[in-house]
Structure 1
């Protein structure tokens, strides 16, 4: 008898959007017929927001940021067809994929102190209007040296290359301020405190990802460790990070959604109870496990069938539950209290006004 191959077998990846009013974001039969009768240039190329891929080596490849952006760009027209003149509010959890920025974002963590070297090219910017020197406010600034620098330019050898933090700060007239704040000394590119803070954040992210993958539990997260020092003049990187144009950068999916006239929100980390689609995934997986026979062809057939079978009233219940959790947290309840309140008011969109009195009686019985 041949040995069973190692591994978990073939994977099925599903990415979808749900809406409280109608459940899944997909045109109904009447809307599809209307779409089919439109001129070709007005017709939606796809009428379903859902994407299913079968990732793996020699298969569909892996779901990435490009895949998500393509899905969002096809989803927005579907939403606009279903809800004309409405503004969509898109919610995402705090995954590394959802929070990814554009390749040319302003990010001091990706910059060297000196020009050239291994650092990304960033998009042009404008010196912020809160700059201390009024004459520099609103002045355009390139983050990369032009290709046509004259031969006598001090950075001629760096033409077409990133400027680095020191040059960017000098062009903004901020390097003298930094030197003065550091007792007349050239500030470091990154001080040891900021470097330690950055390393700790990366460590905590790795631990959280390991926990999410079932490879262990994250250690107690100490929020104080994640907070940078009080001084913003400790190093070039910290000072540049605090500039308004750097702080105003947004994740790529947020830029795409807002450019289309809609809104994008990111839910707090480690709070899956605030995302109704997580309940939809759980509902689907429970039924898939009960019906599957362990073979990939069966799972491939069952997944879309089960996803489509979730009633709209059930999806609405998922949304009501998340609204109750949000309301509970807004009222100041902790996680345990919120869980109790959500169950007590399971048929409502918000928890009752008397919940605090009920919790007080429970915590202090006569």
Structure 2
């Protein structure tokens, strides 16, 4: 093997040095399920009230500089989560099995799973567990931060490369797609990482559900309820959204997050992944068949969902497309974290939308039926005066 050129050696040193410090243990998941590459900001006051945070975001403050106050669900709403989990566990397990089978066949077995915090974390755990149960693979799994408008946590990527080298395949994982904003951020981040450090990373994003049709590796394109979308930290390892602020995150730090230890008694994170994992044996045969069909006749992402979004933007006279959040997962986020204005649904009897209708009524959002959408539902954030 020839010696590396001076330029190649310098490029490698950019990501290999300095050696980054090992992450601190975070989250309520088992240590062998996931490693969070995040800086612990648990002692920092970052939360703002919903109205105050909404005003700040719509007047220019980046959402990653503060945190929403975590929604504390009522007993009735937690009951809806358990009902949804019971109803859809097999469907979620099948989607996890399909996407896992696709990953193994497309990427091989020298893998590192890199889930995007925080919705991607439970999905990454499910994929890791499926590979372990079905293939006997003990695949490393990390959860890292990616932020719209700011990019991916490059220190986290460097840490993974320092631990595993550049010969392994990094597979990025998220829960679902909406407009495809994070997919675009990931594509740009991988290009920038190669330019800066000479390391080519695949920008393929594996998701359970791809209703936005912007991913090539998915379990289904149906816009269905993934029960982990119903709740915030209490189904995501008790971790907050990720934070990136220059006064809190240093040059060699990972992006930040809070670990809500005081909610351990309300935590449903492990219950969720345990319940889904228990269904893998039942769905394995069908997962293999569906993955085989998807790989033999692939349907590349055509971003069809964006056509719906542009139509909705025009219909309601919205200047900012970011006020529109399509799909079950994103609509849930609007209702839990933002100030909702309108909730569009395909039909009132859709079994995947019971929690959406509950939250919409609780938050006083208008509910409108729009049967011709690609998505099952769509949340519209309340615009400031003069917009909409």
| TM-score, with structure 1 as normaliser | 0.25
Q: Which structure shows the higher strand fraction?
A: 2
Please tell me whether Structure 1 or Structure 2 has the larger radius of gyration of its CA atoms.
Answer: 1
